[in-house]
Structure 1
């Protein structure tokens, strides 16, 4: 497979974000539909570990340790030389492997097909889920107001 021009950091960050947060069943179902199964070698076989999640109060306060989260990571190199990394939430080695393969393929001439068959559908599914969750929350919103009682 031939290489594309190197993707920008923002482009790669976007598809890596989608792959990392996508539900495993959705990612695996889309990957099963793709006919492309490239030959690769492991640079780092899938391994499970933990990371410390940090947060800020109100998004602007001092950072604090929120807690730990389990992640699975791996790295591979395609036969053509493209390197892919997979960092996913949870303990799924197959999901990390698919994420790394997709990352590597997005750096080759197969990028348009992979974007159309995996990245874009996952993005739409995740956006639809966010929209449904927001609509459900909005339906339970309660408006509080104070009536003025004629007294001072």
Structure 2
């Protein structure tokens, strides 16, 4: 009896990073990239888009016993392009359209040779996130108070 063994593909750090960026993309960024596609692929839904809850777990003291912190709302979608690539989109919140578009761009990023529109989209998202982090750091630095101790002479 020959049993077929499902082989797992090795982790792809570039795809992981891309999916993380797509999860943080705004709807405007995703829509603009979709409109910029010259030849839009046929997209077939596999799952969703759908919205649900996931349990967020924490640990006491960072290494102690796990506990249920609460629930977070998430949206996800899985699509298949007519060329066979499968894409997944997962993000916090209830925006099903963002999840669907993220899944489409995930699938497009898997095409052989990549996709210029997807690469440009990922660069724009990364630049926006870096700018937001810089702005937050500047705002935080502006409110920073330096405490120091004055030493008086021995009286």
Shorter-chain TM band: 0.7 to 0.9
For residue 47 of structure 1, the aligned residue among 50, 67, 70 is: 50
Q: Relative contact order: is structure 1 or structure 2 higher (C-alpha 8 Å, sep ≥ 6)?
A: 1
TM score, norm. by length of structure 2: 0.81
CA distances 1:131-150 after superposition (whole Å, capped 9, x unpaired): 11111111111111222345
Distance (whole Å) between structure 2 residues aligned to residue 70 and residue 45 of structure 1? 15
Q: 1:11 to 1:37 in 2, by over 3 A?
A: same
Q: Which residue of structure 1 lines up, in the alignment, with residue 125 of structure 2?
A: 122
Across the aligned residues of Structure 1 and Structure 2, the Cα RMSD in angstroms comes to 2.4
Provide the aligned length of Structure 1 versus Structure 2: 146
Please give the alpha-carbon distance, in whole angstroms, between the structure 2 residues aligned to 1:64 and 1:149.
51
TM-score by length of 1: 0.82
Cα distance in 2, alignment partners of residues 78 and 141 from structure 1: 50
Alignment of 1:78-117 (within 5 A): 78-109=81-112, 111-117=114-120
The answer for the alignment partner of 1:66 in structure 2 is 69
Contact 1:75/1:83, CA 8 A, preserved across alignment: yes
The runs of 5 or more residues in structure 2 that have no matched partner are 1-8
Consecutive unaligned residues of structure 1, counting only runs of 5 or more, are 1-5
CA-to-aligned-CA distance 1:63-118 (integer Å, 9 cap, x gap) = 44333211110111111110000101111111011100000001103624134321
CA distance in 2, matches of 1:89, 1:36: 29
Larger radius of gyration: 2
